Amino acid sequence: MKKIIILLLMFAGFITAQNFKVEKINGDVKILKGTSEKWETVKQGDVLSGEDVLLTERNAYILLNKDGKKFELKGDAAIGLNHIKQVSINDLILALALDEIRNVPKIKKSTTARNTAVYGSKVTNKTKISIDENVLGTKKINGAKILNENGYSESSVIVAKEVFRNYPKVSMNFDDRLYFADVLNKLELYQEAAAEYNKIKNLALSDKEKETVASRIEDVNLKLIEKK
């Protein structure tokens, strides 16, 4: 418990307030503002807070501007705006360590629970969600992939690990798990990537998937040997 408190206090310093202006929008885009209990429609020109959560339906997109830096969230995705930021490798390693500590057997949550908490924040189960829990989890994974595509690789891994912890069914998806293990590999966090590949191999996999993950494990183990 003491380790968790220390890590939470340290990681709380990585979360900073930020505002985003909506420059362009197309299709159905919703937002959950701060402690609000309902999704609202986003409009062009709106100024959004880093505490807000965006959700796009299929074929929708939204273009955000934060101090001249653009970020486009594509369709069928969801993201907490506080995650659109650069995170250092050291901060990522700390987040992964915190995730391991918090990764204990979970009591099944109500499908009305709002699983939008970030590392170091308080989780509330009072918010009403009008979207299936697993659909929301899949949209969040898509949002994490968009983070990676936009150069926020470290932050994308943090989001993905949070989603896998909060949405057990989503965590069983081989392709998604492999995607973010590969991100760790590309970031040269070979030990962390190896740990993730070894978790993946314990999933219910097809023969082809088993071969794929076995190849990844062999590759990353060679990199670990070369790094010594």
Domain boundaries, the chain: 2-169, 173-228
How many Å from the N-terminal Cα to the C-terminal Cα in the chain? 33
Contact 82, 118 (CB under 8 A): yes
Which tokens hold the place of 171? Answer: 């965590």
φ/ψ (deg, to 5) at 43: -125, 150
Residue 187 carries which side chain, given as an amino acid letter? L
Which DSSP symbol is given to 13? T
Per run of 10 residues, the mean pLDDT along the chain (length 228 residues) is: 47 59 96 86 94 94 94 96 95 92 58 40 42 91 98 97 95 98 97 97 97 98 90
Left if phi > 0, otherwise alpha if psi is -120 to 50, otherwise beta: which for 106?
A: beta
Question: Nearest to residue 154, comparing CAs of 89, 58, 106, 79?
Answer: 89
Element of type H or E holding 2: helix 2-12
pTM: 0.81
Question: Nearest to residue 87, comparing CAs of 55, 61, 64, 120?
Answer: 120
Residues 6+ apart with CB under 8 A from 61: 24, 25, 26, 27, 29, 72, 73, 74, 75
Q: What integer pLDDT is reported at residue 113 of this predicted model?
A: 40
Q: What integer pLDDT is reported at residue 104 of this predicted model?
A: 57
Left if phi > 0, otherwise alpha if psi is -120 to 50, otherwise beta: which for 167?
A: beta
